[in-house]
Amino acid sequence: MTLDELKDLVAEFSQVRDWERFHTPKNLVMALMGEVGELAEIFQWLTPEESQAICSGDDERIKVEHEVADVFIYLLRLATVLDIDLATAVQGKLAVNDERYPVGLARGRATKYSELG
């Protein structure tokens, strides 16, 4: 399924429930933040090793998948409402990051671009 097909699927889900009036940019961002918080809660007290292995069990995998899906659904809905082409936006941001994080300076480092030089 393509990104556009997913956006249409989510839009239709909202439309048939008459939720479009609630899907203002502000409300969608707030909902997105809530879902990111629920995803973060799953990982909050895990060790790095436990977080790497979180999806090895069926129950935990389903919880993580559902929260990741919730985050993605709200992000898709926000992009639709704001008429943002996500593919174009991602390509543009990667081009900016390519300049900010040249491979020769950034490879293997978790340093902000302003601190690389």
Predicted pLDDT at 117: 80
Q: Convert 68-93 to b/e letters by CB count within 10 Å (16 or more is b).
A: eebbebbbbbbbbbeeeebeeeeeee
| CATH architecture label of 3-84 | Orthogonal Bundle (1.10)
* pTM to 2 decimal places: 0.90
Q: Nearest 5°: phi and psi at 45?
A: -110, 15
Name the stretches of the chain with pLDDT < 70.
none
User: How is the chain split into domains, by residue range?
Assistant: 3-84, 86-117
Predicted pLDDT at 67: 98
